[in-house]
Amino acid sequence: MDQNPVIVIGGGIAGLATALRLAPLPVVLITASPLGTNAATALAQGGIAAALGEDDTPHLHAEDALTAAAGLGAPSITRRIAEAGPAAIAWLLEQGIGFDRMGDGKAIALGLEAAHSRRRIVHAGGDRTGRRVIDGLIGAARNTPSITLLEGKVLDLAMTANGHVGGVIYLPAGGRQATDAIVLPGRSVVLATGGVGGLYAHTTNPVTAIGTGLALAARAGAVLRDLEFVQFHPTAIAIGQDPMPLATEALRGEGAILVNASGERFMETVPGAELAPRDIVANAVFRQIVAGEQAFLDTRPTLGQTVHNRFPGFSALCASAGLDPEKQPIPIRPAAHYHMGGVKVDASGQTTVPGLWACGEVASTGLHGANRLASNSLLEAAVQSAWIAEDIKSSTAPDTRRLESTHRTPSLGEANASLRRQMDRDVGVVRDAAGLQRAIRNFWFAQDENAPDATLVALLIAVSAERRHESRGAHQRADHPRTSNTPRHIEITLTEALDSARELAESRAEAMEAFA
């Protein structure tokens, strides 16, 4: 039994780091597309937050994260992750990732981003940090004999008779039917499947990011937490691309400003101005758009012609659309960027289902709360992967001689355009009861045992959002604009969400019959 590998699902920083840290245990790393493609990590421009500066401490870093989390951050886990930040950077350096240095070529260069009180953002290749990190980890994984790389789709988790995860139902690349799937036994399974941005019409995520890991965990009975908290990045570049290119927050850290079509700053009087927490900036940009204004990012006053060398990725993206940030402001809008909610895990990354761990964006560790602090996502994955590896190495492997599965029909592909538009409209930057209930009913009527993961996850998010009758962090309710004095988490299972959706749909049907 102990010869079964650990199965890691996902090829971003969370999956790769976990696989590497598990060595020499045998690991099967499964990615839905060729390794290095369609991973949100590769799109990360900002960097990795770590308290490396002489004027900085992990305590200050943790306090900034807790402030941004709007009352829902877990102090203990936040402090542990902040304290582990410098060691995580050192480990990434050991994997061959070269971070940007100061002019002397020795000290690591540190940038500033919104809601950080110190310069603590570590970059690689200017604004190409994610690409450099993912390439470095892929190289390390390919050179690690204990890691086997597979491409394909995980349709379901395989369960032992006593409810322990004992492997996965795997459909190899090119397979189209459930009959093509095979059972892969595993001593443990780690979800590292990323976020949910692909459920939205405007997103900076790969369109394949539809919450597959959430669906797998939900069907296995896992508790999910705070799914309503979807972070919308305020400065996605509005040039008609899908996914939308990102204008990194580091630009605002270096003095870029937000203006309307008349060139007027609309963040100047807000505490923190352009460097206010992301939820505040995203709401301000959204209000401009709702009011019929276009919002722009203007780098000219502070960066001028240096923008091309200091932010080559951003400059190239603009050039591809015929724009020049040295000469003109760049059109922007909020876009779904990061999911603070996820599968509830403990300090070791274990979910509420035995044998199942979750790492990175798919997990709810307690670090991000209601609003993620910029550049804490890659940090969380790098740190959490070490804790998960330690926990799995000390765990007992299950008896996988008899595994059960639903063998459900695979639902391949992305979220459809109609669902993405509805998520933008009804479960977007600003929500209300009417829109949320409309979304829940529509997603409910689209349900069956083989419903696409996208529909199931959209329903889970909408039900969680409907249950939070307040505005907090990234969850803004037009009909509940105040923040409760008593912070609380919204925890939910698939059964509870489906029951709520059914009751809502049935009550609506009864009301319509009464007026017929």
Spell out the domains of the chain, with CATH numbers in brackets: 6-196+340-393 (3.50.50.60), 230-335 (3.90.700.10), 413-514 (1.20.58.100)
**Ranges of H-type helices in 326-479:** 377-393, 417-426, 433-445, 453-467
DSSP-assigned letter for residue 274: G
- Preceding omega of 334 cis (within 30 degrees of 0): no
Per-residue confidence (pLDDT) for residue 411, from 0 to 100: 59
Please, are residues 457 and 199 in contact by the beta-carbon 8 Å criterion? yes
pTM, to two decimals: 0.93
The CB-based long-range contact list for 22-26 (8 Å cut-off, 24+ gap) reads 22/146, 22/389, 22/392, 22/393, 23/144, 23/146, 23/147, 24/146, 25/146, 25/392, 25/393, 26/146, 26/148
Residue 269 buriedness (CB in 10 A; 0-12 / 13-18 / 19+): exposed
What are the backbone angles phi and psi of residue 187, rounded to the nearest 5°?
Answer: -70, -25
Residues labelled as active-site residues: 278
Is residue 214 a contact partner of residue 343, using CB atoms and an 8 Å limit? yes
- Tens digit of each residue's pLDDT, the chain (516 residues): 458 999 999 999 999 999 999 999 999 999 999 998 888 877 777 799 999 999 999 999 999 999 999 999 999 999 999 999 999 999 999 999 999 999 888 899 999 988 899 999 999 998 889 899 999 999 999 999 999 999 999 999 999 988 999 999 999 998 877 788 999 999 999 999 999 999 999 999 999 999 999 999 999 999 999 999 999 999 999 999 999 999 988 899 899 999 999 999 999 999 999 998 888 999 999 999 999 999 999 999 999 999 999 999 899 999 999 999 999 999 999 999 999 999 999 999 999 999 999 999 999 999 999 999 989 999 999 999 999 999 999 998 887 777 877 545 545 567 899 999 999 999 999 999 999 999 999 999 887 656 789 999 999 999 999 999 999 999 999 999 999 999 999 999 999 999 999 999 888 765 555 555
DSSP string spanning 383-395?
HHHHHHHHHHHTS
Per-residue pLDDT tens digits for 200-225? 999 999 999 999 999 999 999 999 99
Please measure the distance between the N-terminal and C-terminal CA atoms of the chain and give it in whole angstroms.
Answer: 62
In whole angstroms, what is the distance from residue 256 CA to residue 250 CA?
9
Q: Per the structure block, which two tokens stand in for 418?
A: 């109609």
pLDDT at position 447 is 76
In this structure, are strands 188-191 and 356-358 parallel, antiparallel, or unpaired? parallel
In 201-285, DSSP assigns E strands to 224-225, 230-237, 257-260
Of the candidates 432, 515, 497, 411, the one whose C-alpha atom is nearest the C-alpha of residue 460 is 497
Query: What's the chain's Rg over C-alpha atoms?
Result: 22
